[in-house]
Amino acid sequence: MNTTEFSLRSENRGAVTLIYTHGPLNEEAGTAILRLVQEKLDQGVTRFVIDFGLAVSITSPCVASILEIAEKIVDEKSGRLVFAGLTDLNLKVFEMVGILLYAESCRNVQEAEVQALM
């Protein structure tokens, strides 16, 4: 696994868009995730799962982008956002900055996908 390069991929499963992150999540990664989510929102998608299982690290600028994403999905579109694969440290950071007021976290993508449909 290359831990120095960021990559992003998504897939649609019914009403849910799954977003998979890989590598270090810096400001550039946050912007890419935000752009992808905005494209999907513009297409009418409102249910998202973001998998952080292969993320090496998440920087503050990326955390800020994730907060913006959460606000767009939940406040602006009344959608659902569920995270999968967060480390304990990242879970605490997301809680401290208020992201978990908008979203919830599950251990794996399968659980997150079910939660996104609720």
Per-residue pLDDT in tens (0 to 9) along the chain, 118 residues? 455 789 999 999 999 999 999 999 999 999 999 999 999 999 999 999 999 999 989 999 999 999 999 999 999 999 999 999 999 999 999 999 999 999 999 999 999 999 999 9
Instruction: Answer yes or no: pTM beyond 0.85.
Output: yes
How far, in Å, CA of 87 to CA of 117, rounded? 23
How far, in Å, CA of 102 to CA of 43, rounded? 21
How far, in Å, CA of 76 to CA of 73, rounded? 6
Number of domains in the chain: 1
How far, in Å, CA of 37 to CA of 116, rounded? 15
> In terms of residue numbers, what domain contains 16?
7-116
> At 66, which helix (H) or strand (E)?
helix 60-71
pLDDT at position 2, please?
Answer: 53
Residue 79 lies in a domain: yes
Residue 66 lies in a domain: yes
* Tokens 């659902």 belong to residue: 80
How far, in Å, CA of 12 to CA of 19, rounded? 9
Residue 2 lies in a domain: no
Residue 112 lies in a domain: yes
What is the domain-level CATH number for residue 81? 3.30.750.24
Residue 48 lies in a domain: yes
Residue 1 lies in a domain: no
How far, in Å, CA of 73 to CA of 67, rounded? 10
